């Protein structure tokens, strides 16, 4: 029986495998055609929702069980913007997009790196800025008011970890940038000339490793002095969920 996580994972793997074949077949058979009223430049503003992510707090542990242990951070929201340029006379549009994703969660956790180990209030999360370049091809629907397209490309993902233990903030020592690919499909519905509503679905799997350090050596919690680690420590963050977007497209010219 499929649960929600397995189903989303299988959909992502399937989409990544079949997407190049779909594009190749459409292009080679010559079924793509440009919309007669297609504008050259458009700007899209959207809100995004990403289903899930994982924070691995012990990526360097010799134990595979400890290495694979993670904290799930689900339901991630953020704004995004995309510029799309339709190449005149060609069946392809070039895109550049950026988003800002942020997720924080606060809970009581057993913290093993303090002396002694204690159950403390921990605020954990991340911030992620995806910057993606891509290409989209239209799928004919027979209507100028509705447009369906599929595409994909490459992306750079700039990540930051958020960690606060018992009121002590950990500062990040590195600025990780990871690189990857994405696959997307989107649907536009024209509301009025030059303005359309857009919904989209995006598959990607950015992952980055951070190195953090507490600047203070101890923190006082409920009258008890708790020692913090002096050495930097690492964490691996994987934003592996499906991303859904909804917003508006403004056709410039």
pLDDT (0 to 100) of residue 225: 82
Residue pLDDT, tens place only, 85-99: 998 888 899 999 999
What distance in Å separates the CA atoms of residue 92 and residue 149, rounded to the nearest whole number? 10
The full set of domains in the chain, from first to last, is: 4-251 (2.40.160.20)
What distance in Å separates the CA atoms of residue 43 and residue 58, rounded to the nearest whole number? 41
How is residue 147 written in tokens? 């447009």
User: Quick one: residue 87, left, alpha or beta (phi over 0 = left, psi -120 to 50 = alpha)?
Assistant: beta
The mean pLDDT of the chain is 86
pLDDT (0 to 100) of residue 186: 96
What distance in Å separates the CA atoms of residue 203 and residue 141, rounded to the nearest whole number? 23
pLDDT > 60? residue 31:
no
Residue pLDDT, tens place only, 209-251: 999 999 888 888 777 788 888 899 999 999 999 999 999 999 9
- 92 DSSP β-pair partners: none
Global pTM?
0.83
pLDDT (0 to 100) of residue 28: 45
Residue pLDDT, tens place only, 167-213: 899 999 999 999 999 999 999 999 999 999 999 999 999 999 999 99
**Exposure pattern of 157-169 as b/e (b: 16+ CB <10 Å)?**
bebbbbbbbbebe
Residue pLDDT, tens place only, 113-131: 666 677 788 899 999 999 9
pLDDT > 70? residue 81:
yes
Among 65-69, 83-87, 132-136, the minimum mean pLDDT is found in 65-69
| E runs forming strands in 87-145 | 93-99, 101-111, 118-139
pLDDT (0 to 100) of residue 234: 94
Give Dmax over CA atoms of the chain in angstroms: 73
Q: For residue 209, give the nearest of 176, 250, 171 by alpha carbon.
A: 176
Reduced to 3 states (helix: H, G, I; strand: E, B; else coil), residue 237 is: strand
Percentage of the chain modeled with pLDDT above 90: 60
pLDDT > 60? residue 33:
no
pLDDT > 60? residue 25:
no
């Amino acid at each position: 029986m499929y649960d929600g996580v397995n189903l989303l994972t299988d959909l992502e793997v399937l989409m990544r495998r079949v997407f190049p074949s779909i594009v190749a077949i459409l292009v080679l058979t010559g079924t793509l055609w440009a919309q007669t009223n297609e504008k050259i430049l458009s700007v899209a503003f959207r809100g995004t929702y990403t289903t899930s992510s994982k924070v691995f707090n012990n990526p360097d542990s010799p134990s595979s069980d400890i290495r694979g242990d993670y904290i799930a951070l689900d339901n991630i929201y953020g704004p995004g913007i995309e510029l799309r340029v339709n190449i005149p006379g060609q069946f392809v549009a070039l895109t550049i997009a950026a988003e800002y994703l942020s997720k924080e969660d606060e809970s009581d956790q057993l913290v093993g790196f303090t002396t002694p180990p204690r159950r403390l209030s921990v605020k954990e999360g991340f911030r992620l800025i995806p910057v993606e370049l891509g290409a989209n091809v239209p799928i004919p629907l027979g209507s100028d008011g509705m447009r369906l397209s599929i595409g994909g490309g490459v992306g750079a993902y700039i990540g930051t970890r958020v960690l606060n233990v018992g009121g002590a903030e950990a500062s990040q020592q590195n600025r990780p940038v990871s690189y990857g690919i994405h696959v997307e499909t989107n649907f536009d519905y024209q509301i009025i000339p030059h303005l359309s509503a857009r919904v989209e679905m995006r598959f990607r799997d950015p992952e980055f490793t951070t190195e953090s350090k507490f600047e203070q050596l101890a923190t006082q919690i409920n009258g008890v002095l708790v020692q913090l680690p002096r050495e930097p420590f690492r964490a691996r963050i994987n934003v592996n969920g499906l991303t859904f977007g909804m917003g508006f497209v403004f056709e410039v010219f």
